[in-house]
Structure 1
Amino acid sequence: MNNKIWMVGNSQLHLSVITEFCSEDDFSRLYQDWKSLRISEGKFFKDGNEINYLFCNMGLLGQISFDGENVSHTQNMSIFLNKIDRDASHIVIMLRGNEFAFESLVETPVPWDFSYNNSPAIKGRQLLKIKDVSAHLAKATNATLATCLLYKINFPKAKIWYVTPPPPLESENHILSNPEGFKDLFEKFGVRPFSVRKKIYQVMYDSLSSSLDNFGIKTLRAPLKSFTDTGGLREDFASGCLHGNHLYGRAIFELMEKEDFYAPL
């Protein structure tokens, strides 16, 4: 049986994978649909495989949550979900992801920190317990967990992978030069130190990956080639201050191939 491969996503998909593998016309069409809150779909070919994609502005899909038993979501999410072939064999999820930016980029009025993976807290910052940080970040990623579970429930025979957003940029200068929607907040509060952002990223996606694994959903972590020696996102792999670019999109597919993504179910 031939694979029926789908990628679903928002800006993370658009600025990395679509930029790398689709035409400029496709990129522009998706941007216009994003601004107009319309769903876009299309396809491209990679190494002989047809890759279908579904794209939209996350604002169109509304709120989604998982309470430990049930997934609650909007009618628009159902419409988006049902545009995929019912016999899809592979589904790659690049939806959401901005929760990391919202939780980490901007410095807090009372600067805080925590210890994780042998990385100590910065002296002088309010020290938080790792269990409290983990609980807070689990709430922040609940919508992503719910989204992935919704695909698992509706496509139980498909191989489902979740792609994490890129790691934090190390360079504060790069962030301030490419602030996207955070310019006013950066001017008021500043950028959180890289070491804190890095730990937030690790806790957030270590925990989410573990939760997804419990439901049979594989997590594709950021490609190692996109990391600096100190664990940040390389500037040449970045688009703005929180997305990956075309090189990042290419690296995602290299990693998918290495992880035997195309293998039959």
Structure 2
Amino acid sequence: MNNDIWVVGNSQLHQSILAEYCSKENYLKYADDWKNQRISSGSFIENDRKFNFLFCNMTLLGDLSFTGNVVHHTSQMGDFVNLINKDAKIILIMLRGNEFAFESLVETTTPWDFNYGGIPAIKGRQLVKKNDALSHFKKATNALIATCILYKISFPNAAVYHIVAPPPIESDKHIIENPEGFSLLFEKFGLRPFSVRKKIYSAMYENLSAELHRYGVETLEAPADALTESGGLRSDFASGCLHGNKNYGRSIISLLEKRNIYASL
């Protein structure tokens, strides 16, 4: 089997794809690696194709930025990128992604909203100009853009894909009952309405997807079967308040085959 497909990621990868395709023993080992700032590597087989993966806590790789058509990164990030075989044909990126949760989950002291995608702002919330919101989101996703472009620069002959962070979970009840590290913030400030969370998510990806496309990185949308009619993440595909679970991981792999990004041998 070829070693030409690579998946790189952090908690989004661990809680979805690795939860579905790795043994329980290895899954727990990878969780311990993440906690103790170690890099995990391995592979799994699906439909006769070998997927290699690299997984670590994003804090281990340091900060990245993209300014003036230059990617600025730490030596640790450079070393992590170089762990992939130079003859890789497909690279699937699931690094970062918490930016979407940080920007959308917790209500702000002064609740705000903006008009976007034909959906008006909720009455009673402070109205923010669309262009101001988009400008802010562009800054918030800069490190994610830098990460993806770095892989394309490092592997110019590979097909590089950014697998989107899961859309916001539609169920407020699920989020409040599974708050991960946000419980105190939810208690103090509350949870933003789903319509605002979904709007923020979509607006953040508007610039991000376009920017990545300019540099040869394609964005892979969330699997349709994991979404509600409103475009939110279904609770049975969710882990905690911002991750996909093993059902989501299985749907991602299925989506790759449907999109002909890989095919069974």
Shorter chain as normaliser: what TM range?
over 0.9
Q: What is the rounded CA distance, in whole Å, between the counterparts of 1:18 and 1:210 in structure 2?
A: 29
1:262 Cα deviation (Å)?
A: 1.8
Identify the residue that residue 83 of structure 1 maps to in structure 2.
83
Identify the residue that residue 96 of structure 1 maps to in structure 2.
96
Aligned residues: 263
Q: What is the rounded CA distance, in whole Å, between the counterparts of 1:88 and 1:250 in structure 2?
A: 22
Q: What is the rounded CA distance, in whole Å, between the counterparts of 2:45 and 2:195 in structure 1?
A: 39
The 8 Å contact of residues 2 and 50 in structure 2, kept in 1 or not, is answered as no
Mapping for residues 14-163 of structure 1, pairs under 5 Å:
14-163=14-163
Q: Deviations over 1:116-174 (max 9, x none)?
A: 11111000101011111111001111000000010011100001000011111111111
Look up the SS of the partner of 1:257 in the other structure. Answer: helix
The 8 Å contact of residues 71 and 150 in structure 2, kept in 1 or not, is answered as yes
Answering whether residue 199 of structure 2 is matched by residue 199 of structure 1, we say: yes
1:68 Cα deviation (Å)?
A: 2.8
Q: What is the rounded CA distance, in whole Å, between the counterparts of 1:230 and 1:71 in structure 2?
A: 36
Look up the SS of the partner of 1:42 in the other structure. Answer: strand
1:2 Cα deviation (Å)?
A: 4.5
Identify the residue that residue 252 of structure 1 maps to in structure 2.
252
The 8 Å contact of residues 20 and 250 in structure 1, kept in 2 or not, is answered as yes
* Structure 1 residue identity aligned to 2:97: G
* Structure 2 residue identity aligned to 1:190: G
- Please, what TM-score do these two structures have when normalized by structure 2? 0.97
Identify the residue that residue 237 of structure 1 maps to in structure 2.
237
- Please, what TM-score do these two structures have when normalized by structure 1? 0.97
Identify the residue that residue 13 of structure 2 maps to in structure 1.
13
The 8 Å contact of residues 4 and 90 in structure 2, kept in 1 or not, is answered as yes
Identify the residue that residue 211 of structure 2 maps to in structure 1.
211
Distance 1:3 1:85, change over 3 A: closer
Q: What is the rounded CA distance, in whole Å, between the counterparts of 1:152 and 1:197 in structure 2?
A: 30
1:206 Cα deviation (Å)?
A: 2.2
1:109 Cα deviation (Å)?
A: 0.4
1:42 Cα deviation (Å)?
A: 0.2
Look up the SS of the partner of 2:86 in the other structure. Answer: coil
1:75 Cα deviation (Å)?
A: 1.1
Identify the residue that residue 176 of structure 1 maps to in structure 2.
176
The two structures, once aligned, show a CA RMSD in angstroms of 1.1
Q: Deviations over 1:159-218 (max 9, x none)?
A: 100001111111111111000000110000000111100000001112211111111111
Moved over 3 A (4+): none
Q: What is the rounded CA distance, in whole Å, between the counterparts of 2:40 and 2:179 in structure 1?
A: 26
Look up the SS of the partner of 1:100 in the other structure. Answer: helix
Q: Which moved more, 1:202-211 or 1:97-106?
A: 202-211
Look up the SS of the partner of 2:192 in the other structure. Answer: coil
The 8 Å contact of residues 41 and 53 in structure 2, kept in 1 or not, is answered as yes
1:8 Cα deviation (Å)?
A: 0.2
Q: Deviations over 1:26-74 (max 9, x none)?
A: 1111000001000000000111111000000011011000003211111
1:78 Cα deviation (Å)?
A: 1.1
Q: What is the rounded CA distance, in whole Å, between the counterparts of 2:205 and 2:254 in structure 1?
A: 21
Q: What is the rounded CA distance, in whole Å, between the counterparts of 1:227 and 1:105 in structure 2?
A: 18
* Structure 2 residue identity aligned to 1:142: N
Q: What is the rounded CA distance, in whole Å, between the counterparts of 1:252 and 1:259 in structure 2?
A: 10
Aligned identity (percent) is 59
Look up the SS of the partner of 1:17 in the other structure. Answer: helix
The 8 Å contact of residues 3 and 90 in structure 1, kept in 2 or not, is answered as no
